[in-house]
Structure 1
Amino acid sequence: MKMTGNTILITGGTSGIGRALADAFYDKGNRVIITGRRQFLLDEAIAQRPGLIGIPLDLNQPESLEQLAHQVREQFPELNVLIANAGISQAEDLTSDTWNIDSAQSIVETNIFGVLRVTSAFLPMIKTQANATVIATSSNLAFIPRADFPTYCASKAFLHSWLQSLRHQMREYPVEVLELAPPYVQTALTGEQQASDPRAILTHAYVEEVMHLIEQGDCPRGEVLVERDRARRWAERDGCYEETFSAMNPSN
């Protein structure tokens, strides 16, 4: 992927990893369009990076995506990079008699169908461009799950598999398909506790390493793996899956 001179659309670009990626790519001289559900966060991002473009989007509302796609086709026909980053997470107690699939359905709608819908909307544009790239954010938990977040982890495992198929099908097009699989990062994905947890990697530090890996082309199999990703990614291959799973999911 070239690092400058792109027109980039980032879903979920108002906070967390998406916002940090938007700032990093903007600072490298790209035209960056961010989307999000909350207008005040779009306004805040634009105020801090004049020239950044913010457009409201709710991926669970089909008409919202249709409006975005129409606006981008009309105003930014040169779009050549999509970063499908929006995602949600929630713990689930499957042993509880009150557990139902409502939260799981919301996670699947956003994390799986949200990515598929936005890719479907913009891939026809992107694949006609030179130096085109599709990036989606999965998770380190795609490889070894946190058992208290079952649907979230499974949704990211779905994306890991789906992106491999997309990458293979795009092999005859000038489209690079990259997967981000973040470790535990200081974002508000699971709440404010995560955003300040000292065990989590700082968001800007994570994105700085991601940008370096992409710039160096150090993305084997299309996977952008920072150093803290790698042990879990290869735990099964290296014969330490059970040990790692047990450490992540203690029995008492």
Structure 2
Amino acid sequence: MKTTNNTVLITGGSLGIGFEIAKSLSEQGNHVIITGRNAERLEKAAAQLKNVTPIVSDVANEQDIDKLVQTLNTQFPKLNVVINNAGFSYVYKLADHADAAKKAKEEMQTNFFSIVYLNEKLLPLLSKQTEAAIVNVSSIVAFTPGINLPGYSASKAALHSYTQALRFTYQASSVKVFELMPPLVNTTFSTEIGGENGIPPKVVADELLQSLATDNYEIRVAGTNDFYKLYLSSPSDALNAMNANR
């Protein structure tokens, strides 16, 4: 997959991993469209980058997605890369009686259903391009759940399964399907779960660009790769390792 002269959509592109990916891709000569719910934060992010277009859009709202898709089709007909980065999580334990069903529905809507919906809406446009890519940002917890993130972990496991099915479905087409699987990353998103101990978001962005260039479709960033090997050898050991001291 080429990493220059693309037109790229990044959901949740104003902060953290999304912002670093937007920065890296814009510096490589791509036109980058970033979305998010907060207009002020989007404008602030865009002002720090070059060749970037901010669009206020909430991935959890189907009407917003429909408007976004219409805008992309009319104003950005060369769109050929979609990076589904926007995410949402609650931190809680199932034993806490913390209204888990309601929280899981919100997490699944943002982290799974919205991605399926947006991809389906944009695949006709992507399929017109000579070369295109979808990147679904999942997580290390797609393999083994964190007990403090039960709904989030389930949503990422669902996204992992969906991504594999999507990749297999489009394997003979011009659309390449990638999955980006970071471990703990030091962002505001992960503050509640000790994000200060995580890797810098730039590491994730760098790994993504390298993997796009080499068609490495399942991108297990940094510690995720070692954890994946542990998971393959002993799922129970992986579960214990994920939840040590929690």
TM-score, structure 1 normalization: 0.92
Q: Secondary structure at the match of 2:147?
A: coil
* Structure 2 counterpart of 1:67: 67
* Structure 2 counterpart of 1:246: 240
Following superposition of structure 1 onto structure 2, how do residues 167-178 of structure 1 map, counting pairs within 5 Å?
A: 167-178=167-178
**Aligned-residue offset at 1:100:** 4.0
* d(CA) in 2 for partners of 1:91, 1:135: 25
User: Residue 8 of structure 2 contacts residue 33 of structure 2 at CA under 8 Å; is this kept in 1?
Assistant: yes
* d(CA) in 2 for partners of 1:34, 1:104: 26
Q: 1:150 to 1:192 in 2, by over 3 A?
A: closer
* Between 71-80 and 97-106, the greater mean CA deviation after superposition: 97-106
* Structure 1 counterpart of 2:200: 202
**Aligned-residue offset at 1:228:** 1.6
**Aligned-residue offset at 1:209:** 2.7
TM-score, structure 2 normalization: 0.94
Cα RMSD after superposing both structures: 1.7
Q: 1:244 to 1:192 in 2, by over 3 A?
A: closer
User: Residue 179 of structure 1 contacts residue 223 of structure 1 at CA under 8 Å; is this kept in 2?
Assistant: yes
User: Residue 182 of structure 2 contacts residue 222 of structure 2 at CA under 8 Å; is this kept in 1?
Assistant: no
* d(CA) in 2 for partners of 1:157, 1:36: 23
**Aligned-residue offset at 1:13:** 0.7
Render the CA deviation track for 1:169-227: whole Å, top value 9, x for unaligned: 112211110000001111122336745x1x2101112222332233234x1xx201223
**Sequence identity percentage:** 33
Q: Secondary structure at the match of 2:34?
A: strand
**Aligned-residue offset at 1:98:** 4.7
* Between 60-69 and 185-194, the greater mean CA deviation after superposition: 185-194
Following superposition of structure 1 onto structure 2, how do residues 12-161 of structure 1 map, counting pairs within 5 Å?
A: 12-161=12-161
* d(CA) in 2 for partners of 1:213, 1:135: 11
User: Residue 214 of structure 1 contacts residue 224 of structure 1 at CA under 8 Å; is this kept in 2?
Assistant: no
Q: Secondary structure at the match of 1:115?
A: helix
* d(CA) in 1 for partners of 2:181, 2:106: 21
Q: How many residues align?
A: 246
Q: Which has the higher helix share?
A: 2
* d(CA) in 2 for partners of 1:60, 1:250: 32
**Aligned-residue offset at 1:92:** 2.5
* d(CA) in 2 for partners of 1:112, 1:193: 21
For structure 2, the residue ranges without an aligned partner over 5 or more in a row are none
What is the one-letter code of the residue matched to 2:96? S
Render the CA deviation track for 1:71-125: whole Å, top value 9, x for unaligned: 1111111111111111111122211345342211110110011111111221110
User: Residue 187 of structure 1 contacts residue 194 of structure 1 at CA under 8 Å; is this kept in 2?
Assistant: no
* d(CA) in 2 for partners of 1:97, 1:82: 37
* d(CA) in 2 for partners of 1:132, 1:158: 23
What is the one-letter code of the residue matched to 2:240? S
